[in-house]
Chains A and B, each alone.
Chain A
Amino acid sequence: MATRTAAVERTTRASRVGAVLGALLLGGLIALPLTGESGLMRMVVELIALLVLAQMWNLLAGYAGLVSIGQQAFLGLGGYALIVLADDLGVNAFLAVPLAGIVAAVFALLTAAIVFRFRGGYFAVGTWAVAEVYRLLVANTPALGRGTGRTLKAVFPLARETRELVTYGLALAIGVVAMAAVYFYLRSRQGVGLMAVRDSEPASESLGVDVYFTKLRVYLIAAFGTGVTGALIYLNLLRISPDAAFSINWTAYTIFIVVIGGLGTVEGPIVGSLVFFVLRELLADYGAWYMILLGVLAVVAMMRYPQGLWGLIGERWDVHVFPVRRRVRLSGPDEAANR
């Protein structure tokens, strides 16, 4: 009998091609400021913000099974943390962006003490209720400008071009770090544990995975990423108010992006963000119809194509640009048996 060898594959041809294309895209984005198109740069910042929000929510819902409807809490807290750190405490505004993520994560630890008492559907409503508490607390705090909100003043002395350029660079860095962090986290030992928890809590617990801690860790990571993104968004917008920063719409956009793009895949949020952005530009003049269309698309996707657009592509052609699974490939005489 001929010998057969087994090897664990962790990369695919698509992932190698994707790495090259990704590097080219990143190079293009780094060179973009040379064109001086500040409108285009703002759009890229917005797109990156949506992508990171989507990746964070996908980590929660698609990988940890935590369907949060309250991520706007951490977005708003991140935005307000930026203003307080930069304007009130004199921290450099750009340095305040990552620090805002830490603030959001600290609040997430408190929030988890409450919302982790709920499971499934009640977890979803519970996170929403707590996000409302944060909104109302901020709206009743005079130092935070109550319902009217505040303006980020720390960046006023900077020339507009400088501010836009640094914000753009920061956004690129956040996008790259977030993508890499999600990808490598999911490929790590902890990532395997996380997917095990999603698939069966009792089974993973019996294999030694600490279910509670695994979920808590993902919840904190997602809050950090969402908080950083909130700070980035308001560094770009400069004007914050509780109703806008803690709006459920942020989470609605995020959910639609992930569900349409493909829940539980790293590629899905990328595809979803692009679809969302294109639809938004196309339907800018149709007001509420745009949200209705997105809602219908998400409902149809959830019913008929729960794998989303990327799932359809990935299944049809077996493409995995960000392979997070390990595959055993046998080589030897009956290689055909692999397929």
Chain B
Amino acid sequence: MAWLDAVVQGILLGGLYALFATGLSLIFGVMRLVNLAHGDFSILAAFLAVVAVRVLALNPLLALVVVVPVMAAGGYGLQRLVLNRLLGRGILPAVLVTFGFSVIIQNGLLQIFSADSQRLNPGGIETASLALGGGLAVGWFSLLTFALAVVLLGALQLLIGRTAVGRAFRATSDDGDTAELMGIDNHRLYGFAMALSLAIVAIAGIVLGIRTTFTFASGPDRLLFAFEAVIIGGLGSLWGTLVGGVILGVAQTVGAKLSPGWGILTGHLVFLAVLLLRPAGLFAKSRRVD
């Protein structure tokens, strides 16, 4: 029963990882950019929520209403003022600049909030659980997180598949120069994609902060888990990302059950195994990887 419990917890954790992964995957899909500060932006959002809770006396779940637009606006600004200026210079400048942001955000958070771990307390829901019978119980909040991930992925799927903006994303992803000739303003579109990515990752960061404690240094692990979920699922596949997140989550919780120190390591090892056996991931539909 304990094993089944670990698997169920892992599946639900996978929903959270899919949230982290979606933003990363979106940016890569649209502009081939890998944002190395992706995880740190989520932790930044969680700290902003801590501030919103303290200053505005909000429930952390309501803090989403404040923090998500702030992060989206920040993402738009970051893309327009910084990252767009690095376009056309190869991948190296963008990778290094986002790595620089990663270090700046972490040390900025350390300087302002100290190294103490933080937690967001929404007032009870994070500990309430639903008994499934047979001694099995799942947290309401974990269920909600998973449902949120499914709803967000579905919404994103509709946005990309059915709207004008989504069509522009796909066109730019296929061939940016031709898309530009057809009247798409790539720079604005990239700004919008980054805003969307940071909005999603802000939600993920706040959800993380309610589930567990976090510190200024929690970002890089989030980036790695997001990356692993994307690669396991296969580039370019949104639902694949959810499956990738679930596989990673189950690997971590089952691994932790085997031996307390082995949770995250098992996740990494499963990622490496998938990579060696199915280099393109489980559900790849991407045209190219570079």
Q: Residues of A at under 8 Å CB distance from B?
A: 61, 65, 67, 69, 113-114, 117-122, 124-126, 128-130, 132-133, 136-137, 139-140, 146, 248, 252, 255-256, 259, 263, 287-289, 291-292, 294-296, 298-299, 302-303, 306
Contacts and interface: CB of A to CB of B under 8 A. Distances in A.
Nearest to B269: A133
A128 B100 contact: no
Contact of B103 (A129, A137, A289, A295): A295
9 contacts: A122-B227, A132-B264, A289-B111, A292-B111, A295-B101, A295-B103, A295-B104, A298-B100, A303-B93
A124 B99 CA distance: 10
A120 B101 CA distance: 18
| Dominant SS among interface residues on chain B | helix
B250 interface: no
B262 A140 contact: yes
Given A114-B272, A114-B276, A296-B104, A125 B33 contact: no
Interface string B269-282: 10110011001000
B71 interface: no
A302 B264 CA distance: 33
B57 interface: no
B265 A288 contact: no
B34 interface: yes
Contact of A121 (B32, B101, B104, B279): B32
Given A133-B272, A252-B103, A120 B290 contact: yes
A217 to B, nearest CB: 20
B121 to A, nearest CB: 27
Given A120-B34, A248-B220, A295-B107, A129 B99 contact: no
B95 to A, nearest CB: 5
Contacts of B223: 125, 128
B108 interface: yes
Contacts of B85: 303
A4 to B, nearest CB: 37
Given A119-B289, A129-B268, A292 B276 contact: no
A259 B96 contact: yes
Contacts of A122: 28, 34, 227, 231, 289
Given A121-B94, A128-B224, A136-B264, A292 B36 contact: no
A338 to B, nearest CB: 30
B151 interface: no
Interface residues of B, number: 47
A263 B90 CA distance: 14
Interface of B: 28, 32-34, 36, 82, 85-86, 89-97, 99-101, 103-104, 106-108, 110-111, 220, 223-224, 227-228, 231, 259, 261-262, 264-265, 268-269, 271-272, 275-276, 279, 289-290
B286 to A, nearest CB: 11
A125 B86 contact: no
Nearest to B224: A129
Contacts of B99: 69, 124, 252, 255
A140 B106 CA distance: 26
Contact of A67 (B95, B106, B224, B289): B95
A186 to B, nearest CB: 18
A124 B95 contact: yes
A67 B262 contact: no
Contacts of A124: 34, 36, 95, 99
B275 A133 contact: no
Contacts of A292: 103-104, 107-108, 111
B101 A299 contact: yes
Contacts of B28: 121-122
B224 A132 contact: yes
A73 B234 CA distance: 26
A13 B174 CA distance: 50
Contacts of A61: 92
A128 B220 contact: yes
Contact of B108 (A65, A120, A132, A288): A288
Contacts of B227: 122, 125-126, 129
B20 to A, nearest CB: 13
A249 to B, nearest CB: 9
B97 A303 contact: yes
Contact of B104 (A125, A263, A299): A299
Nearest to B111: A288
